[in-house]
Structure 1
Amino acid sequence: MASDTLLARIADYANRPDPYPLYAELREAGPVVPQADGSFLVGDFHQLAALLHDPRISADERNLDADSPSLEPHPTFLRLDDPAHHRLRDLAMRPFGPPHSPDRVDSMRGEIARLTRELIDDFPADRPVDVVDDFAYPLPVTVICRLLGVPREDEPRFREWSEAQVTAVDIRPGEESAERFRAGRQARQETREYLLGLAEQRRGHPTDDMLSAYINEPDPAMRLTPEEIGVTATLLLIAGHETTVNLIANGALTLLRHPEHIDRLRAEPDMLPRAVEELLRYEPPVQMRLRTPLVDVEVAGSMIPQGAPLYLVLASGNRDPRRFGDPDRFDPDRPDNEHLGFGSGVHLCYGAPLARVEAETALGALLPLLASAQWAQETPPYRQNAMLRGPRHLMVHW
């Protein structure tokens, strides 16, 4: 098949269970692969790393060609460039502590471990357990709700909003894309209004959560506007659980497929952090990022024009044999595992330390159960989204 159909084939749900042969085709086709729709794909590790650090490559979708739809007229810092990105990201993360503060994250280990035990204790005895719905989803949702100050009982409302927003950023082409964008914008607006309303309830009545910290910030220079609070809280709520759900679910599925590693990880729990790093390389929850050049940019002899959609296929870079030996093998002992599972550069995932702790705790607690698990489907159903990839359900018998 022609390389200019790669994006469409990656988007095809039939390839969701195993997109990695397509990524190998992408790397073979060249460092930069133009697509029939005018977009460009990059899947080479070294080119990806360079582009993620290149200030000429914009995360702001408003810089895409005029014909490209934009989900959000008021972008989160995830979709801003410096200096606006730097300012908003720093202000947004102040209540959480320094972006990579080990003390802040480590202080949450006990709470995360307690929540994990509670979820496992509540596994149903009269039916198979869905590792996604019964475990991988509720754990990070509960954690981010407690951090932000969102009532856990409102979870059904923002789960629906979250699904609409994630669906809107999928890469599926077709006439339905306009409707997906419309539904995504509506869901984002409703989420923003809901979270800003919660924050306003705390104005003058501070509590120990991030919404309260935002609305009661005493320093005018450090204060977010109401619009910025709504947009930022929406991002933290959605991003704070979506990728971690996939990381935990992908991790459980990978261990079920490689049971030889389960007993060792049980005997050597200190190996869990390295196993999670390998999972982030081997089955990353974020498969690609959309960017666009601010000017015409030459990459490995190919010219990418200003404003063109540029897909950085991080999951392809993580399987690049020019960077990783035997890249299609899951190897928790892998040395020099500097993957792109959390991106790189100024947009390196701000929640990476917390996601690592959640994944280590969750998978560590699941190991005794995975050792005796029976599962119904070698290939479980996957979520529709090609950019945020993970199982939709993972049914197992303990």
Structure 2
Amino acid sequence: MTSTTQQPTASELFAQALRYENRADPYPYFAQLCRRPVVPEENGTWLVSGYHEISQLLRDPRVSADRLRQEQQPIRKSLLMEDAPRHDQLRHQVTEQFVPRIMGLRDHIDDLVTGLLDAHTSRRPGQLDVVGDLAYPLPVTLICELLGVPREDEPVFGSIARRLTRGLDPVETQTEDELRELHEARDELVHYLEGLIADRQAAPADDLLSGLMFGQGSDAPMDPIDLRVTLALLLIAGHETTVNLIANGTLALLRHPDLLARLRAEPDLVTPLVEEVLRYDPPVQMSGRSTLADIDLAGTTIPKGSRVRLLLAAGNRDPRRFSDPDRFLPDRPDNAHLGFGGGIHYCIGATLARTEAQIALTALARRLASPGLVADPPPYRENAILRGPDRLMVSFDRLTPEPRSV
């Protein structure tokens, strides 16, 4: 008599990938999903896990970034959830103000990283929390400076951001308390942003908020509601994903001491290394879309009006696209990953995030003597979509002071 083992369904595999106890390593479940690159869940949502299929949908005009489109909610949305041509208008307004302000920031970022690490030079041996001591304060400081947001307000918008980003996860993974906190956080954010906008209306400054508000450059002033929604996006997305990128990069380096030593000796390795972090352990694991027409893909048809989850982290390890996908290989050729998405919604802050991660990881490799993970795996955040360590404690024998130029 022979027995057969029933294979888990796509819904079961996806549910396992979302479970908190698998947060440290959801990739085995993504790998199983990737064997069927386009498959429906039992609730009608489609999971797309293949690299080529995700890439196609990211660029297909028949796919909407507004995953709530079928609900016909009359709300103003951020450019992340808008389609062309409205997306293009909003993105142009932001780019016109954002890009000039991030040019030439490398030295300033280097100074910020130096200052954050210098706080630990007296500890011999010692420990630091890479998340709380470096990966979080660095992008928060930068986005506050760029937007013109008071740095001392971080406890306010930091608390709001933590509750809002939890709300990005599938609703079935959230508790009633978390859903209630999500609505409270939205109200708090509106109140906070309205105060910021009123302050800047009374006293314009040379910052991104003023640029968007008063239409400096070739653009007209941004509509007041669009301004509030865009400011919320930049304030929260402007730091949350970079925190994960730096933390995930540090974790990868400490798990591969040969690469850590190599980065210390070859600082230029950091450029491909950060790209490999974005592929191997991306800070954004998935993204939502909806279909505006029937779409034939991978031998099946996704019906019009369907919700679609693009599993970016699964596509980044698709063996049809990347050889030996579960190995961390900074020298990987043709590393065109999905870490920043693709198409017209490609991450607007990609250049800044790359720069922050490159400088932070190089400094950690150069300055930490005999670093080691205090806990492996570390504790992770609740978020499944914005996945990264909640804390990343690292021990070291000594933190080398940075030489000062005279």
The equivalent residue for 1:46 is: 52
Decide whether aligned partners of structure 1 residues 365 and 219 sit closer, same or farther in structure 2, where only a CA change above 3 A counts.
closer
| Contact 1:286/1:389 (8 A) holds in 2 | yes
Shift of 1:92: 2.1
The whole-number CA distance in structure 2 between the counterparts of 1:182 and 1:82 is 33
Q: How far 1:36 moved relative to its partner?
A: 1.6
Match of 1:60 among 59, 62, 66: 66
CA distance in 1: counterparts of 2:393 and 2:196, whole angstroms: 36
**Quick check: 2:93–2:219 contact (8 Å CA) kept in 1?**
no
Q: Give the aligned partner of residue 27 of structure 1.
A: 34
Corresponding position of 1:376: 374
Change (3 A) 1:175 1:282: closer
Distance 1:158 1:257, change over 3 A: same
Question: For residues 182 and 295 of structure 1, what CA distance do their matches in structure 2 show?
Answer: 34
Amino acid at match of 1:108: L
Given candidates 294, 297, 303, the residue that maps to 2:295 is: 297
Question: C-alpha separation between the residues in 1 aligned to 2:369 and 2:333?
Answer: 26
Shift of 1:146: 0.3
Verify the 8 A CA contact 2:46 2:309 in the aligned structure 1: yes
1:222 partner SS? coil
Greater CA deviation, 161-170 or 290-299? 290-299
With normalisation by structure 1, the TM-score equals 0.92
Note the C-alpha offset of 1:218: 5.7
Secondary structure (helix, strand or coil) at the match of 1:356 reads: helix
Q: Is the 8 A contact 1:342 1:349 kept in 2?
A: yes
- CA RMSD, aligned part only? 2.1
Report the AA paired with residue 50 of structure 2. D
Q: How many residues align?
A: 387
Q: CA deviation at 1:306?
A: 2.4
Q: Distance in 2 between matches of 1:144 and 1:38?
A: 38
Tell me if 1:343 matches 2:345.
no
2:17 corresponding residue in structure 1: 10
CA displacement 1:330-355 (0-9 Å, x = unmatched): 11111111110000000000000000
Q: Conserved in 1, the CA contact under 8 Å of 2:18 and 2:173?
A: no
Query: CA, structure 1 residues 376+150, in 2 after alignment: closer, same or farther (shift >3 Å)?
Result: same
The separation in 1 between residues aligned to 2:180 and 2:276, in whole angstroms, is 37
Could you tell me which residue of structure 2 aligns to residue 101 of structure 1? none
- Aligned residue in 2 for 1:113: 110
Deviates more, 1:355-364 or 1:222-231: 222-231
**What amino acid does structure 2 have at the position aligned with 1:32?**
V
CA distance in 2 between partners of 1:150 and 1:246 (Å): 22
Contact 1:8 1:173 in 2 (8 A): no
Q: By how many angstroms is 1:375 displaced?
A: 2.1
Distance 2:30 2:220 in 1: 43
Residue 14 of structure 1: how far off its partner (Å): 1.4
Cα deviations by residue, 1:256-294 (Å, 9 ceiling, x for unpaired): 000101111111111111110111111100111011111
* Aligned equivalent of 2:265: 267
The 3 A distance-change label for structure 1 pair 303 and 108 is: same
Query: Is the alpha carbon distance of 1:157 and 1:38 closer, same or farther for their aligned partners in structure 2, counting shifts above 3 Å?
Result: same
Correspondence for 2:152: 153
Quick check: 1:149–1:209 contact (8 Å CA) kept in 2?
yes
- 1:95 paired to 2:88: no
Quick one: distance in 2 between partners of 1:175 and 1:143?
A: 31
Distance change in 2, residues 1:144/1:257 (3 Å)? same
What is the CA–CA distance in structure 2 between the aligned matches of 1:270 and 1:395, rounded to whole Å?
26
| Residue identity matched to 2:106 | R
Unpaired runs of 5+ in structure 2?
1-7, 397-406
Distance 1:175 1:158 in 2: 21
Moved more, 226-235 or 361-370: 361-370
Rounded Cα–Cα distance in structure 2 between residues aligned with 1:253 and 1:370: 14
Mapped pair 1:36 → 2:33? no
Report the Cα distance in structure 1 between the residues aligned to 2:234 and 2:186, rounded to whole angstroms.
12
How far residue 370 of structure 1 moved from its aligned partner, in angstroms, is 4.6
Tell me by how many angstroms 1:369 deviates.
4.3
1:230 alignment partner, one of 210, 228, 237? 228
Counterpart of 2:3 in structure 1 is none
Asked which structure has the greater CA Rg, the reply is: 2
Match of 1:169 in 2: 168
Are 2:87 and 1:85 equivalent residues in the alignment?
A: yes
3-state secondary structure, aligned to 2:394: strand
Report which stretch shifted further, 124-133 or 148-157: 124-133
Percent sequence identity is 49
SS at match of 2:55: helix
| Alpha-carbon distance in structure 1 between the residues aligned to 2:372 and 2:175 | 38
Distance 1:257-1:371 versus aligned 2 partners, 3 A rule: farther
Letter in 2 for 1:382: Y
1:187 equivalent in structure 2: 185
**Whole-Å separation in 1 of the counterparts to 2:17 and 2:70:** 21
Give me the whole-angstrom Cα distance separating, in 1, the residues matched to 2:11 and 2:160. Answer: 34
User: What is the deviation of 1:38?
Assistant: 1.6
Partner Cα separation in structure 2 for residue 161 and residue 174 of structure 1? 19
Task: Note the C-alpha offset of 1:175.
Answer: 7.1
Note the C-alpha offset of 1:203. Answer: 2.5
Residue 399 (structure 2) aligns with: none
